[in-house]
Amino acid sequence: MSRIHRLDPVVRDQIAAGEVVERPASVVKELIENALDADSCRIHIRLIEGGHSSIEVTDDGSGIEPSDLPLAMARHATSKISELSDLDSSPWLGFRGEALAAIAAVSRVRLMSRTTSEPVGHELSVEGGVAGTPKMVAMAPGTTVRVTSLFYNTPARHKSQKSAGAEAGWIQHLTEHLAISRYDVGFLVEQGDKVLLKTTSQTTPIQTLHQLYGREVADSLLPVEHTGITGIRIRGWIAPAHIHRGTRHTQSLYVNQRWVTNWVLRQAIEEAFKPHVPDRRFPLFWLWLDLQPSGVDPNVHPTKAEVRIDRERQVAALLYRAVQDTLTNKSQSSSLSIAPNHAHDELTEYAQSELRLETFPLGDKRASSDTQILHKEFLELTPLAQWQAKYIISQGPLGLYLIDQHAAHERLYYERFKREKGASMIAQPLLVPHIITLNTTEWQAFIQHRQLFQDAGFEITESGGSTIMVHAVPQGFKDLPSDPEMVRTVLESIIQGHAQYGHPVTWVEEPLFAMAACKAAIKAYRPMSHVEMRGLLQDMALLTDPRGCPHGRPTLIRLSLEEVDRRFGRKG
């Protein structure tokens, strides 16, 4: 074994850089945070090949003094802290004094900056950690950092990078989170001549959420406001439980204005949604935690993506309660709907006319004389009441039945869509085009698979950034509530692995029909009349498989008389 020796400074810097700079998005995050700390009002990010070839971040902030340019590129150099105690109250996003040095160690960097007191700017070029000589440059006040040839001198890291599209998508994704936190700053992300993201300075986060995710999301959000023990405040917005996504890209958690990842806190939020959100689906939320700075350590991770919080479990419990209270207060549930005692008149009414719910028509016409009854047991069920505006309580020859109204109605629509799939896939123009703002992952999936949307009966055009206009939807779905959401349904099926490019149009049918049925079906907390409950039960007799919804949840639970007697301690 060779003798112990000190590493060459260049080698040391490249090793250290690996802790901070993992991918192009790491560079963008550090540069944006520096720009925000410089009180910028506008931040412009330009990418070439997803940042592999070039990343340029320009801001209109306070700038760097000419004499400080070499220090700005040096390790452990910062203007934000002076001693250890400063960490307890630092308001800055970045303060480790390593970001620019780490970036310069594995790339070629051109740093240009001008303060408002200087007539011209100054620039400094650094290659592989070796700085050149500062020189004057004409520019507006602010700072521009141009990073090229990322990882050119670390081949192993260079080979492990994702595709340009994946990196551009992740950069757009992280910029969305930062833009929501700093809604008072305008952000622009471009790749070549394509705008990936654009926000303007706003007065509230909800306005930025509207710009990023569209009116359909922003208008539905529920405000969260909760003050717990001393020094803890929770605020922000959550989407209602019936709005959910196949990924966590529309979840943001901020601790003292810093976007962070904390699985304990995130799990607490998702647990509050758990009774209302299907498996493998994720709620939408944007929540801010204001904590005592002395109780938060953001310096435990090289990129400051994770933080350590005092009394973490207690904070998680407060988050759970805040979200749960918001969902409960907005719930429209009713405790119990008792069926009226005039079933004969209602059955006559039912037999003479087609059943139509107020907003959600049932998926099938009334059974005609030649309709095949596949499950007679459902014709023998008598609805007694609606419980919690979610379940139908019925009795039958074999016991007591609880029917999930949403799951049962969902199955009706699903089987109808499968029967009519040929007609369903014909494009039906919309009277007014719908505008949808896609998140990062959805946008990348749309760009890659746009031809399959056309094959499926959609007509879609791009309208700038990650916003699209839906001009036509498949024929079978034109009358459904929120029909433009069918586009997001298809995208989610791609993201979740249900589809592979090159397959015929049938690649979308199962997940598309399932999600279309889910959106069309009666929702939980929708009161039903006795006629509607009986009509739903009789329609279930016509289904091929009425036992479960297309997502795998059961439509009914049966309690036998023997089981009920046993639970009450009766012998018969």
Helix, coil or strand: residue 192: coil
3-class DSSP string for 541-560:
CCCCCCCECCCCCECEEEEC
- For tokens 């141009």, the residue is 146
Alpha carbon 281 to its chain centroid, in Å, reads 10
Can you say whether the dihedral through the CA atoms of 534, 536, 540, 541 is positive or negative? positive
Binning the chain into helix, strand and coil, the percentages to the nearest 5 are 40, 25, 40
Where residue 374 falls (left for φ over 0; alpha for ψ -120 to 50; beta otherwise) is: alpha
Measured over the CA atoms of residue 421, residue 425, residue 429 and residue 431, the dihedral's sign is positive
| Whole-number Å distance between alpha carbons of 135 and 561 | 89
- Provide the Cα torsion 392, 416, 418, 509; round to 10°: -70
Nearest-CA neighbor of 519 among 557, 542, 492, 538? 492
In this predicted structure, what is the pLDDT of residue 314?
83
What's residue 148's pLDDT? 94
**Prediction pTM value:** 0.62
Map out the domains of the chain with their CATH numbers: 9-202 (3.30.565.10), 220-330 (3.30.230.10), 334-572 (3.30.1540.20)
pLDDT of the chain, 572 residues: tens digit per residue: 566 656 566 555 555 544 568 889 989 999 999 899 889 999 999 999 999 999 999 999 999 989 888 888 876 666 554 455 545 555 545 544 467 888 888 889 999 999 999 999 999 999 877 888 889 999 999 999 999 999 888 887 888 888 888 899 899 999 999 999 999 999 999 998 889 999 999 999 999 999 998 888 888 899 999 887 667 899 999 998 878 888 888 999 998 888 888 888 998 898 888 767 777 789 999 999 988 877 776 665 555 556 778 778 888 888 988 998 888 776 433 233 334 434 344 434 433 433 334 333 443 444 444 567 888 888 888 899 988 888 999 998 888 999 999 888 888 888 877 776 655 567 778 888 888 888 877 888 888 878 777 777 788 898 888 889 988 877 666 555 545 566 776 777 666 544 443 333 444 566 667 766 776 777 777 888 888 888 898 888 888 878 777 766 788 888 888 888 888 888 76
As beta bridge partners, residue 198 has: 188
Residue 431, pLDDT score:
82
3-class DSSP state of 398: coil
pLDDT of residue 8: 60
What three-state secondary structure class fits 353?
coil
Q: Dig out the tokens for 557 from the structure.
A: 């639970």
**pLDDT for res 527:** 85
Q: Is 388 left (phi over 0), alpha (psi -120 to 50) or beta?
A: left
| pLDDT for 563 | 84
Print the SS3 string covering 41-98. Answer: CEEEEEEEHHHCCEEEEEECCCCCCHHHHHHHCCCCCCCCCCCHHHHHCCCCCCCCCC
The CB density around residue 140, as the number of other CB atoms within 10 Å, is: 11
How would you list the strands of the sheet with 467-474, edge to edge? 427-437, 467-474, 459-462
Q: According to DSSP H, which parts of 430-571 are helical?
A: 440-456, 485-495, 509-520, 530-540, 561-567
DSSP state of 107: S
The SS3 assignment for 292 reads: coil
Burial class (CB in 10 A: 0-12, 13-18, 19+), 100: buried
SS3 label, residue 2: coil
